Structure 1
Amino acid sequence: MAGRVRTIAVLDAPSNLGLRPPEDGVVPGCGKAPGVLRDAGLVTALDAVDAGVVTPGRYRPDWTPGTVRNEAAIAEHSLRLAARLDRIADRGELPLVLGGDCSILVGIGAHLRGRGRFGLVSFDGLDYRHPGNSDAVGAAGGESLALTTGRGGMLAELGGTRPYVRPADTVALGVRPDDEYLADAVDAGLRVITSTGVAADPVGAAEEALRTVDGPELAGFWVHVDADVLDPDVMPAVDSPEAGGLTFDQLVAALGHLAVSPRLVGVDVTIYDPDREPDPDFRHGRLLADLLVSALAEAGRAPAER
């Protein structure tokens, strides 16, 4: 049944741990994203509460082939993130997690798995690289959806069980039609709607996603938003810009349709990097904050299902 109106709780997870260095000796800039979004007035505009920050461990650029970069630090950060999200959920608030890179999805997945069976809607370039389809694994940010749905090493089973979210309960929206891992994701049971499909009918794509993640057997669903789902013509300041993405209006329409569901249990946003493409006035960060406000403002006024 519908309950009280939800309060959005903004939580920072400024991790770079799942990314390769953009160049030798340089730390990725995604850890700056939460600060930029906050400086743009996001918390006030959403009438949200400040849930603080889960600080990641030290980023180490060195990497040994055959290993996952910063794996132990990601695991430790993920468990602390999951515990913080548990406390937010226990208060009946709706978390909005500001990343950081997509490795934060591991902690989000661990949080969801610990509370039951949930769905996941992922607006992203896919991030489905894993040892079964690539010999180039090693950066968890590019493997986050695979890890969350049970593919990969120890990061896929924090707490001793996998998957955090079942492939059949997962929808990937905005994937480029030529993504090299798309066929493997579909074969594994994920529902994939490409960027072409979302662009043609954003609300229809969101409705299709809801048919997967809004069933009575699920306790609710989480939405992951990677800024590189947007086309680099409108959002170049991301870790991995790729042509063929969505426009702001298309993403707002699809995300906004999902956000008003009382079954939504949380949202995260990742991969905005003000250092990747020069963004000296943080213009693209402000645009991303405006996008989130436009899409999520109604989420804070929608009744929670309890």
Structure 2
Amino acid sequence: MMKKISIIGVPMDLGQTRRGVDMGPSAIRYAGVVERLERLQYEMEDLGDIAIGKAERIDDEGVRLNLRNLKAVAEANEKLAQTVDEVIRKGNFPLVLGGDHSIAIGTLAGVAKHYENLGVIWYDAHGDLNTAETSPSGNIHGMPLAASLGLGHPALTQIGGYSPKVKPENIVLIGARALDEGEKQLIREKGIKVYTMHEIDRLGMTRVMEETIAYLKERTDGVHLSLDLDGLDPHDAPGVGTPVIGGLTYRESHLAMEMLAEAQLITSAEFVEVNPILDERNKTASVAVALMGSLFGEKLV
């Protein structure tokens, strides 16, 4: 991995309705992310937070389109895409701190232009493959992977001025256990590789990660990790807006990050959906920082 890491905070809470996730970047910084990675001999640069606009008090267009806060979400993602692009041009590793998962639209828009075949590991309880037509809620944090595939409203799919950002065959979903019907259909149609909790229970995390790494190594020239803390079980990560019981354990998640570190596969990453208001003594942010330690090469011995 690149030895210079640029941290980008994105205090976005407009992609969903539960307040508090905008404080996620601050909580992760408070949990010691900079100090943790500096101890691993990385040169750290904290670029601060992307400016986020305000929610529309009366969002008539968003309601009509089933895309809540579309304008503000799109504008923030454009800024994020530009910042991520600049970080990669400098030769640094972009580490994005969320914020809700709608920010992945901007992260991927900034990253994907630097790769011919970008791979994506989507570590999440959810598929985030909805569009306005399939979304039960209109929350854009359930749409970033679909938008990155070029599916959805142009204000989201054209972030960064191009589409799509990623090919379906270059995506691996890990930890899925709450998929909407439209998402299931899209996964079947596009042939997206998914390891649900059923597969993880049967195969074990070691085999899941071995297969994921082999699958992406042979077809991609860079891999982005998009890790939603609700991928973990709520027992280990309680401070998330959409918890789903029966998730990945703390230790399974560390193993996954350790194996990615050994494979030297990851070229950009984001950690999202930390909500301190719903948390217990900043536990979820601390888990996020611990997982970042493993991703960047921290070992138990």
The TM-score range, normalised by the shorter chain, is: 0.7 to 0.9
Aligned counterpart for 1:211 among listed residues 194, 211, 214: 214
CA RMSD of aligned residues (A): 2.3
Compute the displacement of 1:61 (Å).
Answer: 5.7
Q: Are 2:152 and 1:152 aligned? A: yes
Change (3 A) 1:5 1:120: closer
Unaligned runs of 5+ in 2: 39-43
More helix per residue: 2
Question: What one-letter code is carried by the residue in structure 2 that aligns with 1:76?
Answer: E
Compute the displacement of 1:51 (Å).
Answer: 2.8
Compute the displacement of 1:179 (Å).
Answer: 5.4
Compute the displacement of 1:7 (Å).
Answer: 2.0
Percent identity between the two aligned chains = 27
Q: Are 2:13 and 1:16 aligned? A: yes
Q: Secondary structure at the match of 1:15?
A: coil
Aligned counterpart for 1:45 among listed residues 36, 41, 63: 36
Partner of 1:302: none
Partner of 1:143: 143
Aligned counterpart for 2:53 among listed residues 57, 68, 87: 57
Change (3 A) 1:177 1:205: farther
Change (3 A) 1:177 1:15: closer
Partner of 1:174: 175
Aligned partners of 1:19 and 1:139 also within 8 Å = yes
Aligned partners of 1:202 and 1:254 also within 8 Å = yes
Partner of 1:73: 72
Aligned partners of 1:9 and 1:51 also within 8 Å = yes
CA distance in 1, matches of 2:3, 2:279: 37
Partner of 2:41: none
CA distance in 1, matches of 2:275, 2:100: 9
1:1-306 to structure 2, matched below 5 A, reads: 6-20=3-17, 22=18, 28-47=19-38, 48-60=44-56, 62-63=58-59, 64-117=63-116, 118-124=118-124, 125-132=126-133, 134=134, 136=136, 138-154=138-154, 155-176=156-177, 180=181, 181-199=183-201, 200-215=203-218, 218-275=220-277, 277=278, 279=280, 281-293=281-293, 295-298=294-297
Unaligned runs of 5+ in 1: 23-27, 300-306
Q: Secondary structure at the match of 2:296?
A: helix
Change (3 A) 1:257 1:61: farther
Q: Can you list the C-alpha shifts for 1:60-96, whole angstroms capped at 9, x where unaligned?
A: 3644242411212222211211111112112222111
Change (3 A) 1:260 1:11: farther
Question: What one-letter code is carried by the residue in structure 1 that aligns with 2:171?
Answer: T
Larger CA deviation: 252-261 vs 84-93: 252-261
CA distance in 1, matches of 2:47, 2:262: 21
Compute the displacement of 1:177 (Å).
Answer: 7.0
CA distance in 1, matches of 2:175, 2:135: 25
Aligned partners of 2:96 and 2:269 also within 8 Å = yes
Q: Can you list the C-alpha shifts for 1:159-207, whole angstroms capped at 9, x where unaligned?
A: 4532211111111111017654334313222111112323542232122
Compute the displacement of 1:135 (Å).
Answer: 5.4
Change (3 A) 1:7 1:16: same
Question: What one-letter code is carried by the residue in structure 2 that aligns with 1:202?
Answer: M
CA distance in 2, matches of 1:210, 1:131: 32
Task: Figure out how many residues of one structure are paired with residues of the other and give that number.
Answer: 286
Question: What one-letter code is carried by the residue in structure 2 that aligns with 1:187?
Answer: E
